[in-house]
Amino acid sequence: MGLSDLNLRVLVPYLPMLGWGALRTLEVSVLAIVLSFPLGLVGALMRIADNRVARAIAAGYVETVRNIPLLVVLYILFLVLPLYGLPINALTAGVLALAVNSTAFTVEIFRGGFAAVPQAQHEAARALGLRPILVMALVVVPQVFRIVLPTLGNQIVSVVLGSAQASIIGVSELTYQTQSIGSSTFRYFELFTIAALFYIACAQAISLLWRVLTGRAAHAPLGT
């Protein structure tokens, strides 16, 4: 089948299904991001903490999860946990797997942000009499967010694209709907063309929106 055989009109009756699949893709992605970004910040704080146990736990989590394929995490949550009396539905498993995976990478993103804040900022804040927790909350963390904003945008794109793997366990997102419709119409070329265009549009829209949101903040001087 080539471009001359492309016939999108045959898919018009299935557009509602594709639309719902696209919405479910965005739902799964947003939920995973809402979970993983705060957890990533907490994990980064643990990685730079003075407490050895906290550092070891955070480092162990990051190194373990980053070296396990997302698909394996999906299978563990959806197929293995029920064997031990912890059944969860496909949507929950999909969101949690994406969040678990994204958190590991987000921890390192935030850790890099903390490392980029000049030590003079810490010293100046302490010289003003601020307690360590206030130094972190009022001085360091705001600068960290400014530093990591562009990279967080890339992570959001990765989560959206990774959500397609949730179709393996039956999450009815766009890729799942594409496969389901394709099995009855055999118009895989048109279907996966539409799916690809959706993911491209999402990635470009996120990148554009993120550039607008970050603006000059991500490149503002941090001080010395």
Distance CA 36, CA 160 (A): 13
Give the residue-averaged pLDDT of 11-30.
93
Over 50: is that where the pLDDT of 156 sits?
Answer: yes
Mean pLDDT score of the chain? 89
When pLDDT is averaged across residues 93-98 and rounded to a whole number, the result is 97
Phi, psi of 186 (to 5 degrees): 60, 25
Q: What is the 3-state secondary structure (H, E, C) of the chain?
A: CCHHHCCHHHHHHHHHHHHHHHHHHHHHHHHHHHHHHHHHHHHHHHHCCCCHHHHHHHHHHHHHHCCCCHHHHHHHHHHHHHHHCCCCCHHHHHHHHHHHHHHHHHHHHHHHHHHHCCHHHHHHHHHCCCCHHHHHHHHHHHHHHHHHHHHHHHHHHHHHHHHHHHHHHCCCCHHHHHHHHHHHHCCHHHHHHHHHHHHHHHHHHHHHHHHHHHCCHHHCCCCC
- In this prediction, residue 30 carries a pLDDT of 97
Quick: pLDDT tens for 113-122: 999 888 877 7
Residue 21 has pLDDT above 90, yes or no: yes
**pLDDT higher for 128 or 220?**
128
Give the distance from CA 102 to its chain's centroid.
5
**pLDDT of 221 above 70:** no
In this prediction, residues 21-38 reach a mean pLDDT of 96
pLDDT for position 224: 43
Contacts of 193 (CB under 8 A, 6+ apart): 6
pLDDT value of residue 219: 55
In this structure, what token pair is assigned to residue 37? Answer: 């970004």
Across 152-179, average pLDDT: 95
80 pLDDT more than 70: yes
Q: What is the mean pLDDT of residues 185-199?
A: 91
Does residue 92 carry a pLDDT above 80?
A: yes
**Alpha-carbon span 48 to 28, nearest angstrom:** 30
CATH superfamily of 3-219: MetI-like (1.10.3720.10)
Sign of CA dihedral 184, 190, 196, 202: negative
